[in-house]
Structure 1
């Protein structure tokens, strides 16, 4: 039967045909976008490899021309990105070992307290000289030194976050992993990392923000008579601030804000949307965070094929490998228990452990003796100045923490409870946290001087600008991690605002809040090296404080004063952590833990 030609022109058929064409072509567009991202990353790796493996430049002149900003920004993003990858790997490994090894848990947490309290500039001499000596004929030596210095400013709050998450995993989930005989790898991938994902994501954001904060110190610094300078956005802003070039500062800040916004949309927004599925709750929340880029990646046909044929089989092989290894270890232990030679093997293992312990103790003793020899060069007036500065910095740090907590706790809860507000406030907070306060400090300092203030008040403002984000982002993570069903119960029983804060909000965010306060405290001590000693228009402004002592000693190459001031700062931070934060951590692990 022949139909009239007009039948083929029915509008419904045209619409259906057009929609079918779009459905067939859309996956191709997604695949092309993913391929373009991959090619861009490959090109960036090639360019950075050419620069790093080239010969080192004796003295680099930082250009304040806006044309140099794209290249400088690229170098800085690579340094911060690599430092973050190192920080993430270290945080997971360190937090895991500390959480599940009772014998060394206290020692590792004490070490973490000490390490986070050591300022970036105190790591500088050993790290930079070691990296330059390791790669004397290549630029990569200085680059690796800067990356490791940025790493020291990023890693500690992530390690604390992962450790705290592991200690607060509900007991029934751990029992379920034991019933199903998970290997350590399976438990890490299927339970521990997902449970810690929300906290790690938000602490990752504040860690990267901390990397931007210390970028100016890590890309442009002086060690005695040697000037280590790297082309980057941090050195650009430091140079512009040093000469008071407001135009260059504006260009640098605009570039940095553009990078931060792009990072938020291309990385953090998809990761936050992805991590939202790991919230520990009985029911499903009606409001979920969305991301166009995450939708692109999840619906890419090329990535789906790659995952089904490569990633998933590889994951199954790894799980099978660790499961078989666990069975073999159990079988071997049972065989050793029945073997009469087990006693001799145990004695040999014990002797090996003692030999390693003796070697480690000898190394520590050797380094301690050399340190004591160096400390003998410190005289009485210098020691008195260090102690006076320690008291002044202690008061500034606690003032900054108090001011930060007043606004970050309610603001973080509001952002974490309302995804629509989070879509607006989270990028703004990320931008504000990532913009180095040191770049804005010249304007702030001049305004304070005109109002009759000085660097004493300005240093508190700079500490506040640099460390309040640790509290805010941890509170946001804690609020987002509160199960939706608990909030619905509070609404069902019509709790008042005070009752909600007392019974749901504060207990729910308490472990995250303590993590934020601990890392903010360490960050404030660390920020004192910049807040209390600042260069402005070829002159150095400083106030009484331990950070000023460390910065001045680094500039003049007085390593004995640098060592003693660092020891005093570490001892103060560790003492505070032992007397205040550690009991609060134990309270979070016992009383405010989800589960039975």
Structure 2
């Protein structure tokens, strides 16, 4: 019974975070795609935010939720908020890309017929983004599970905020040496993850894309789809009815006042008065993490190409997809107790696996869900007729055809690898501490010490460094890919 309740609690947080992320992603993604000013401001900001680990949001979660609201409610909302930070970014980019690629004549028609916001949502925006939302939800759902334990156990110096759930239960059993209970609970987590994909997300992606690439059992999804459609129809009808009223303005005013109050409270709670911050130490650790992240992203690229070959040529796509969904969803911190025999002798191996788990699957899903299905059959037929094989097949057929999805997946993998630093470079438990250095390790130690001032300062410098790298490196890579490798 305890295990069942823990599963339901964690699954409930995941579902709540997903629903919130979905509405936020639709709102922000559409705004970015339709408003140049919003796009120019938010696009670089989101590129940075997706690279900030979940620990970077701990001060906001603690101040805004855990200290302002009643403890039980505040902690639940804090956990959901932290899971949202693991789900959200990929979904926003999916909606943004889908709306951005629409034929401009659609918007001209909407203006001619004087369609309001909710009418456009119902008949243009959401239908156009449906496939992208479904496919990106698979990646985001995995990211939420990956950081579930970090959201359920928030340690800040002498304070530890622990929520009842399967993630915290797994770590409790590990810390207390209950090996049998640890593996039973871990197995239950794996079952939940697989079931959620087979019954919900895979059928949704197959239905939205009409490609049926992923293994799924669709009957339960049919009832979920009917329920969601009914709720969406009601919300759309209500929105259209209220469209002529100025409710949006009033809501915006309330939101501004609410955010202002929160920021004032945050400023009072976390006064950033840092007498000493080791800048050189930060630079050294950031460069150390940068080397690891770069290596992991490069390795993710190589592995993804090999996986794409197996999916395309060997027809192993469904088996590979379900294996990827399963592995991508294993909470990051659980890899340390799962591979505990290696901790004392080869901690870097466990760190490497955690890094890879945090990065590879973004690249993997981008290629499998968006790249492989879009390769034109004529190209594959010509390669077969002319006997293009081996290295030439990868060089002239596979990589050029997949490069757009590889590049976009690599950018997400880059953010995922930076997120993984907090658990790949530092692990503390009742049995000891593993500290491999790096900026993720710095942030983890500051959070453990309850030094929110140093956490915020580290995140600020981290964000600045990521912004520079995105501008200098990634923007050029993406522009070059767009010019050279786009296959019509």
**What is the TM-score when the length of structure 1 is the normalising length?**
0.69
1:552 partnered with 2:445:
yes
Distance of 2:55 and 2:220 partners within structure 1: 42
Partner of 1:411: 307
**Which of residues 183, 186, 201 in structure 1 aligns to 2:134?**
201
8 Å Cα contact 1:243/1:538 also seen in 2: no
1:73 partnered with 2:7:
yes
- Of 389-398 and 153-162, deviating more is 153-162
Give how far 1:507 is off.
4.8
> Structure 1 residues 193 and 487, CA, compared in 2 at 3 Å: closer, same or farther?
farther
1:478 partnered with 2:370:
yes
Distance of 2:414 and 2:209 partners within structure 1: 28
> Structure 1 residues 90 and 314, CA, compared in 2 at 3 Å: closer, same or farther?
closer
After TM superposition, list the pairs within 5 Å mapping 1:287-436 onto structure 2: 288-289=212-213, 293-294=217-218, 374-379=272-277, 382-412=278-308, 414-415=310-311, 417=312, 421-436=316-331
Partner of 1:225: 158
Partner of 1:132: 66
Distance of 2:92 and 2:354 partners within structure 1: 25
> Structure 1 residues 365 and 194, CA, compared in 2 at 3 Å: closer, same or farther?
closer
> After superposition, what is the alpha-carbon deviation per residue over 1:388-419, rounded to whole angstroms, capped at 9, x for unaligned?
2111111111111122221123314643x489
Give how far 1:526 is off.
1.5
8 Å Cα contact 1:477/1:512 also seen in 2: no
Distance of 2:472 and 2:33 partners within structure 1: 20
- Secondary structure of 2:402 counterpart: helix
Partner of 2:30: 96
> Structure 1 residues 210 and 549, CA, compared in 2 at 3 Å: closer, same or farther?
same
Give how far 1:192 is off.
4.8
Give how far 1:190 is off.
5.1
* Superposed CA RMSD: 4.1
8 Å Cα contact 2:427/2:433 also seen in 1: yes
Q: Which of structures 1 and 2 has the bigger CA Rg? A: 1
1:562 partnered with 2:455:
yes
Distance of 1:371 and 1:140 partners within structure 2: 20
Partner of 1:461: 353
Give how far 1:376 is off.
3.5
> Structure 1 residues 420 and 189, CA, compared in 2 at 3 Å: closer, same or farther?
farther
> Structure 1 residues 409 and 194, CA, compared in 2 at 3 Å: closer, same or farther?
farther
1:521 partnered with 2:455:
no
Distance of 1:589 and 1:321 partners within structure 2: 42
1:110 partnered with 2:44:
yes
- Of 394-403 and 311-320, deviating more is 311-320
> Structure 1 residues 590 and 443, CA, compared in 2 at 3 Å: closer, same or farther?
same
Distance of 2:381 and 2:130 partners within structure 1: 25
Give how far 1:537 is off.
3.2
Distance of 1:579 and 1:427 partners within structure 2: 36
Distance of 1:312 and 1:440 partners within structure 2: 39
Distance of 1:471 and 1:260 partners within structure 2: 20
Distance of 2:239 and 2:485 partners within structure 1: 33
> After superposition, what is the alpha-carbon deviation per residue over 1:408-464, rounded to whole angstroms, capped at 9, x for unaligned?
23314643x4896333222221111111242232353532643xx334x54233111
> Structure 1 residues 317 and 458, CA, compared in 2 at 3 Å: closer, same or farther?
closer
Give how far 1:264 is off.
1.7
Partner of 2:341: 446
Distance of 1:433 and 1:486 partners within structure 2: 33
> Structure 1 residues 236 and 311, CA, compared in 2 at 3 Å: closer, same or farther?
closer
- Of 467-476 and 244-253, deviating more is 244-253
Tell me the number of residue pairs that the alignment of Structure 1 and Structure 2 aligns: 477
8 Å Cα contact 1:162/1:196 also seen in 2: yes
Partner of 1:582: 475
Give how far 1:591 is off.
6.0
Distance of 1:244 and 1:88 partners within structure 2: 39
Distance of 2:267 and 2:456 partners within structure 1: 13
Partner of 2:197: 264
Partner of 1:211: 144
Distance of 2:434 and 2:466 partners within structure 1: 26
> After superposition, what is the alpha-carbon deviation per residue over 1:252-306, rounded to whole angstroms, capped at 9, x for unaligned?
22101111121122102211220222x7xxxxxxxx45877535765x8x998x9
> Structure 1 residues 98 and 68, CA, compared in 2 at 3 Å: closer, same or farther?
same
What 5-or-longer segments of structure 1 have no aligned partner? 1-66, 280-287, 326-354
